[in-house]
Amino acid sequence: MEILVTGGAGFIGSNFVHYMLKTYDDVQLTTLDALTYAGSRDNLEGTLDTARHRFVEGDVCNRELVADLVDGVDAVVNFAAESHVDRSINDSKPFVKTNVEGTQVLLDAAVGADLDRFLQVSTDEVYGEILDGSFGETDPLNPRNPYAATKAGADLLVQSYQETHDLPTVITRTCNNFGPRQHQEKLIPKLIRNAVRGDRLPIYGDGSNVREWIYVEDNCRALDTVLRSGEIGEVYNIGTGEEMTNLNVAKTIVDVVDASRDQITLVEDRPGHDQRYALDTSKLESMGWEPTWSFEEGIRETIEYYRPV
Ligand code: NAD
C-alpha cells in the first residue's frame, strides 16, 4: 500500500509514520510537510533511512507538487494543518489557507487519481461544546473558534467531493491527543516542561474545561483501522471516554513529576473556550478498535519523553 501522508513531520503525523512503518512491512510512505514552526524532521528520525519512506518538503497548497505526489498512491492521509486554537484567535489567515485551501488542493488532485481512500484527519472541535452526553457522527457541526471552523469547512468540502466526484473519502474526528513529538506550545508538553522546571503552570479560567484524551499511539491504530476498513463516505469518531478537567490534567502532571501544586496558576480565560467535548465512539468500537492506554499510563510515558527538557 502506497500512502501520501501530509503533515507527517508534525505531532500525530510523525507518530502515524512511525506506527505504520513499524506495523507493516509492505507499506510505502511519502511524507509531504512544509516544515512550519510546528513540524520538524527530528520527529521522523529513524524513519528516513528506509526505502519505504521518503520526505518531501513542500506546501499542500502547491497544486503541481500535490498532483504529482497524489498520482500513483493508493491513499492520502491528510494531517497537514495549522492546529493551535490560540494562534487561530490572533490570526486565522494561515488556518484558512492550509486547513481549507490545502484540503481543496488535495481533493482536486485526488479527483484525477485512482485512490482507494482519502482519509481526512479532523477533530471533535468541529461539533462545538457539549455539556452533557456525547456527540455522534451525524450531529450537526457547530465550530466555535477559527481553528475548528476551518476544520469543519474542510470536512464539508471532503463530503462534497465524495458526493459530487465519487471520491472514496473517510473522515475521522478525534479528541485531544497526547504523547511524544508534540510541539512545546501545546497544553501537555507545556505543563510537563513547566512542572519539571519549577515554573508556573498556566491554566485558563477556573480550570473546569473538560477534554477527552487519547494517547497518540491509540489514535494511530484507530486511523489505520478507518483507513483499511472504514466505509466510503463515512465519518468515524475516535475517543476514549477518558474525560479530564484541565485542572486535573495539571494536578496529575505535577504529582507524577513530584512538583508543587502551588505552581498551578489560573489565568484569564481565552475567548470562545468550549467548556466540554465528548464523543460517542461506538461506531469505531464496532470495528474492533478499543483504546489500550489509560490516561495514567500514557501520561507517565509522555512525561518520561519530555522530562529531560
Ligand atoms: P501539528 O501542528 O503538530 O502538525 C501539523 C503539521 O502540518 C506540521 O508538521 C506542519 O509543518 C504541517 N503543515 C502545516 N501547514 C502546512 C502546509 N501548508 N503544507 C504542508 N504541511 C503543513 O498538528 P497535530 O497535532 O499533529 O495535528 C495533525 C492533524 O490532526 C491536524 O489536521 C489536526 O487538526 C488534527 N487533530 C489534532 C488533534 C490533537 O489533539 N493534536 C486532535 C484532533 C485532530
pLDDT of 72 > 90? The answer is yes
Residues with Cβ within 8 Å of 211's Cβ and at least 6 positions away in sequence, in order, are 175, 176, 243, 244, 246, 249, 276, 277
Average pLDDT over residues 79-104: 98
Instruction: Assign 34 a pLDDT band (cuts: 50, 70, 90).
Output: very high
Tell me, using a 6 A CB cutoff, whether residue 12 lines ligand 1: yes
- Find the 296 Cα to ligand 1 centroid distance in Å: 25
**Strands of 75-78's sheet in order across:** 53-57, 28-33, 2-6, 75-78, 117-123, 169-174, 235-238
Percent of the chain with pLDDT over 70: 99
Instruction: Assign 49 a pLDDT band (cuts: 50, 70, 90).
Output: confident
For the domain spanning 187-209+243-273+295-306, the CATH number is 3.90.25.10
Q: Tell me the C-alpha distance between 203 and 13, whole Å.
A: 27
Q: Which CATH class for the 2-178+215-241+278-285 domain? A: alpha beta
pLDDT of residue 309: 56
Selected catalytic residue, list 19, 147, 161, 277: 147
The string of pLDDT tens digits covering residues 127-170 is 999 999 999 999 999 999 999 999 999 999 999 999 999 999 99
Residue that has been written with the C-alpha cell 507493516 in this structure: 24
pLDDT of residue 20: 98
Give the residue, by CA position, lying nearest to ligand 1 atom 17: 59
pLDDT of residue 112: 86
pLDDT of residue 282: 98
Domain boundaries, the chain: 2-178+215-241+278-285, 187-209+243-273+295-306
Tell me, using a 6 A CB cutoff, whether residue 39 lines ligand 1: yes
Give the residue, by CA position, lying nearest to ligand 1 atom 36: 123
pLDDT of 307 > 90? The answer is no
pLDDT of residue 217: 98
